[in-house]
Structure 1
Amino acid sequence: MASSSQAARQARQASRAAPNTAFRRLRGQRSPGEFAAAVRKAAREIGEQVSCDARYIGRVEAGEIRCPNYAYERVFLHMFPGLTLADLGFTAREQVRGGRRGGGRVHPLCPLDGPPGDNSKISDIDEESDVLRRVFMTSGPTTVAAASLGLGLGFVPAQRRVGEAEVDAVEEAVRRIRLLDDRHGADGLYRRAAQPLRAAYALLDAGTAARRSTADRLHAGAGELAISVGWLAHDSGRFDDARSHYGEALATARVAGDLALEAHAFCNTSFLARDAGRHREAVRSAQAGQQAARQLGSPRLLSLLSLREAGGWAGLGDRTACEKSLARAHTYFDRGAGGGADPEWMSFFGEPELEALQAQCWSALGEWPRAARHARRAASLQDRRFTRNLALYRAELASDLAHAGAPEESAEAGQQVLDLLEGVQSSRIQSMLAETARVLAPQAGTGGVGAFLDRFGEALRLP
């Protein structure tokens, strides 16, 4: 009788023996990277956000992904109207589920482990919350943390060879965290996201990757996971935890010689330093990130890092240096997306974010009407389905209007944020609203200000 490890290996080999030729035909003459870009564009058209890259397309065509998750399903059916999942070369979700439950381990990060299909009345948020529970709700000490990634390891012995399945699970954890944060904010995710991070670093500590390329992917995946978890800590007001996670990612980048990961770590470190009032550190970190990013061929990454530097200069009150950094950011941004050179994590960075970061600079310099103009433009440009960012931009607008002496407009924007916060948990946004309420308090009798203050106060009292 074959051992469980042999059975698992045979199952993996069997799954790879059936390439998805139908999906390959649909790609046509486009490269995997070009097709992935088309998938991301189609996702934006219908308000979805997927982190599709050439590697994902390759996995689909190789038959490793037998059925896409719900977000990808909606995108693919939008791209190819009139076709079914079967026409796209995928296996029915119910069949894949049944096979996994009957004959093998269930991968907690598998996109198939969700709620029922087309006839379900469960909302997208319920669907994602179910996935979240499956991914992150684990138990056991750190020594068995690898199990939280669904790797089926139980522990990571020194002789264990880390392969594609383990690295894929780390990378999928990063994508899932980013997607859920975009939709629902950080507060409810942070604690549960720490388990996959510990698992990823347990794999690194084992030091037994089968190939150099696998080891490089594992370092990059673990570092990106540290940044993602650090962002959840950052956005939920746990600045010390965030600083630690970003530092861990930077150390991983330096060990692996990974400039892309280094630039990302410095980008987030700069953002955190600005929020924590360490403005000189924000400038230095952004400049260090630019130095790493210059070799990567991504103008959009350099644009974002220039905006981070501008935020630091604004915090220091140096208007001239801030304006120079903003001008440089626009120059890079206007060069357009860098295609395959743009990091996957930068999918959030478009014109709305460009406007929002400029608003933050002008508010730090005390130019509130100018800040409000940029914040209003950010909110108007943002896709309404990306709830967290829309709430963030409107919270910035409410604050800027309050300081600019437009209390009624500020209260109206604040009410819109409160509407959005029913599905978003973000300490950052709540803190911004609290500051807006503080500024508006003396004008409680003006227009709708009192109604906003009452509603905000009620929201604070809710459990």
Structure 2
Amino acid sequence: MVRQRNTTFEALLTEFGYTHTELAELVNRTAEDAFGKPTQCTDRHVRRWIAGEVQWPWARYLLPLQEIFGRSPEAMGFVPRKTSRVPAPPRRRPAPVKEPRPVRRREFIAVGLAAALGLDAIPSAGRLGSGDVERVRAIVPALYNYDHALGGGALHEVAAQALHQVHHALNHCTYGERIERALYAAVGDLAASAGWFAYDAGRQQAATGLYNEALQAGMLAGDGMLQARVWSNLAMQARLLDRDQEALRIGRAAVETRQAKADPWLMALLHCRQAVGHARIGDRVRAERSLARAETAYERGRGEPAAWLSFLTPAEITGLAGAAHQALGKYGRAQQLTADALDMLDPRFERNRVYYRLQRAQALLDGGDVEHAAAEAGDAVTMAARVRSERVRDRITGLRQQMRHHAHVPAARDFLEQTRGTGA
């Protein structure tokens, strides 16, 4: 049989954000945690599956792969031999509480990611060098690959664990002045990211503490870009807590920093968030001006943004414009912009896709189209089972409360029944 590359399986790794090593670790942990039988999967096995050298893996690998991706072997691109069959799962170890598969999958990913981040390679004693700094810097891009798909609820504890281990190295190792500044910049990047994951998970007190830690690290490192980023996140948190004027003041301070002005990606995001803030207090002129400035700044962007800004695509710019129009009460325009954002959104941004579908449902509902709003919201709730984001849950809760006023409409009644007992 001619060897043929398994592009379907390769695309799955890209969609879920796995490296070969990360997937191998997750296969091993999934096998042991779910079935009580460890495997010896390595990155070499994964490479052979992708290359088509192995077209039908052994059962001990197929079972965890089915558990991780929720797909049959054929749907993962594997080709059965004449004698091949899908193996029956072994008897599971008894568990006190049976959890639904999506939750279990997130836990496996968190456990696998903690190992895949390579935290054990960070020294706990001795002298730190540039290679150690690079190991710390590599943690944040790895975390964001998962955040886009899973949401902060699946990651904030992993990020906190990583930050704790890096702090141990800072306090128990020796290093020169140049390495010290680089380490504090990397620690600040990690703390700001951990703060974002906690924010998305609804842990606002933890998020505030992590943001303050990131600001301090940014000052010690002399990293103005990091400080502007944290100010932006603090503004977003203030808005979540209904402190709109405070959010605008913090956002304005971030926009005025020299570092933000030098980075078109960051400037575009800041202006988008300011637009939503102005819209929330009813200032249409400033909101539209900020949206125009965001587009201008984004067009100046060249190359690739920082890892934490990898979500900032034309889809995100459009979706935030939809949020601003929603806050201004321009529901038809908000619905159209959000629909456009969803059409443009890359599949890997699963959490944002759920969020924007809920935003579109809100615009439809506020515009009086209850039937289509309920259908959109129902689809979003189905997708939301795969992510862990308190912001998403809050939007579902808000929609559910409003739908109660339209319970006489069959579609709204179906949505209320669908979300009954979900905790929303």
| Range into which the TM-score falls when normalised by the shorter chain | 0.7 to 0.9
Task: Report how far residue 193 of structure 1 moved.
Answer: 2.4
C-alpha distance in 1 between matches for 2:260 and 2:351: 32
Q: 1:363 aligns with which of 326, 331, 350?
A: 326
- Asked whether the 8 Å contact 2:232–2:250 carries over to 1, the reply is yes
Q: Partner of 1:132 in structure 2?
A: 110
What corresponds to 1:306 in structure 2?
271
Is 1:172 matched up with 2:172?
A: no
| Structure 1 residue aligned with 2:226 | 261
Aligned partner letter, 1:70? H
Partner SS for 1:209: coil
Structure 2: distance between partners of 1:295 and 1:194 = 27
CA distance in 1, matches of 2:137, 2:168: 15
Greater Cα offset, 321-330 or 127-136: 127-136
Give the deviation of 1:49 after TM superposition.
7.9
In structure 1, distance between residues paired with 2:328 and 2:44: 49
Task: With a CA cutoff of 8 Å and minimum separation of 6, indicate the structure with the bigger relative contact order.
Answer: 2
How many Å apart are 1:269 and its aligned residue? 1.5
Within a 5 Å distance, the mapping from 1:380-459 to structure 2 comes to 380-459=343-422
Q: Does 1:339 align with 2:317?
A: no
Residue 349 (1) aligns with residue 319 (2):
no
Does the CA-based 8 Å contact 2:315-2:340 persist in structure 1?
yes
Describe how 1:266-305 pairs up with structure 2 within 5 A.
Answer: 266-292=231-257, 294=259, 297-305=262-270
Q: How many residues align?
A: 353
- The 1-side partners of 2:112 and 2:14 are apart by 24
SS in 2 for 1:317: coil
Distance 1:132 1:262 in 2: 28
C-alpha separation between the residues in 2 aligned to 1:320 and 1:260? 28
Kindly indicate whether the alpha-carbon contact (under 8 Å) linking 1:375 and 1:393 is maintained by their aligned counterparts in 2.
Answer: yes
Q: Secondary structure at the match of 2:145?
A: helix
Gaps of 5+ in 2: 1-9, 29-41, 50-56, 71-104
Amino acid at match of 1:249: A
Post-superposition offset of 1:171: 2.1
Alpha-carbon deviation of 1:278? 1.8
Determine the structure 2 residue equivalent to 1:69. 19
Distance 1:193 1:414 in 2: 31
Aligned counterparts of 2:401 and 2:45: Cα–Cα separation in 1? 43
Match of 1:151 in 2: 121
Superposed CA deviations along residues 328-357 of structure 1, whole A, max 9, x for unmatched, are 11211233x3226x3232111011111121
**Would you say the 8 A contact 1:262–1:292 is kept in 2?**
no
Q: Distance in 1 between matches of 2:354 and 2:135?
A: 31
Pair 47,368 (structure 1): closer, same or farther in 2 beyond 3 Å: farther
Letter in 1 for 2:354: A
Match of 1:56 in 2: none
TM-superposed CA distance for 1:294, in Å, is: 4.5
Check if 1:319 corresponds to 2:284.
yes
Per-residue CA deviations over 1:40-86 (Å, capped at 9, x if unaligned) read xxx99996487xxxxxxxxxxxxxxxxx923999xxxxxxxxxxxxx
| Residues 392-417 of structure 1 deviation map (CA, whole Å, 9 limit, x = unaligned) | 11011112211121111111111111
Structure 1 contact 128–180 (Cα < 8 Å) conserved: no
Letter in 2 for 1:136: A
Of the structure 1 ranges 426-435 and 173-182, higher mean CA displacement relative to structure 2 is found in: 173-182
Does the aligned pair in 2 maintain the 1:274–1:315 contact within 8 Å? no
Q: 1:122-167 CA deviation, whole Å, 9 max, x = no partner?
A: 15558986453144389xxxxxxxx9821364x44xxx31123432
Distance 2:45 2:372 in 1: 42
CA distance 1:151–1:114, change in 2 (3 Å): farther
Alpha-carbon distance in structure 2 between the residues aligned to 1:205 and 1:284: 35
Distance in 2, Cα, partners of 1:310 & 1:199: 38
Compute the RMSD of aligned alpha carbons. 3.4
TM (normalized to structure 1)? 0.68
- How far apart are the structure 2 equivalents of 1:114 and 1:297? 45
Amino acid paired to 1:149: L
Is the Cα–Cα contact under 8 Å of residues 279 and 325 in structure 2 kept in the other structure? yes
Moved more, 225-234 or 362-371: 362-371
Query: Structure 1 residues 299, 171: CA separation in 2 closer, same or farther (over 3 Å shift)?
Result: same
- Cα distance in structure 2, aligned partners of 1:279 and 1:44: 41
8 Å CA contact 1:200, 1:222 repeated in 2 = yes
Instruction: Indicate if the aligned counterparts of 2:198 and 2:207 stay in contact, CA closer than 8 A.
Output: yes
Of the candidates 233, 236, 248, which is equivalent to residue 213 of structure 2? 248
1:346-396 CA-to-partner distances (Å, cap 9, x unmatched) read 111011111121122222233322222222211121123421111111011
Residue matched to 2:150: 184
Q: Is the 8 A contact 2:122 2:169 kept in 1?
A: no
Q: Which amino acid aligns with 1:338?
A: R
The CA distance in 2 between the partners of 1:296 and 1:210, in whole Å, is 31
Q: Deviations over 1:7-32 (max 9, x none)?
A: xxxxxxxxxxxxxxxxxxxxxxxxxx
Inter-CA distance 346–228: structure 2 relative to 1 (3 Å threshold): same
Shift in alpha-carbon separation, 1:47–1:177, aligned structure 2, 3 A: closer
CA distance in 2, matches of 1:112, 1:245: 34
1:216 alignment partner, SS class: helix
Report the CA distance shift for 1:420/1:166 in structure 2 as closer, same or farther (over 3 A): same
Distance, in Å, in 2 between the alignment partners of 1:125 and 1:293 is 44
Partner of 1:36: none
- Indicate how the Cα distance of structure 1 residues 296 and 322 shifts in structure 2: closer, same or farther if over 3 A, else same: closer
Q: Percent identity?
A: 27
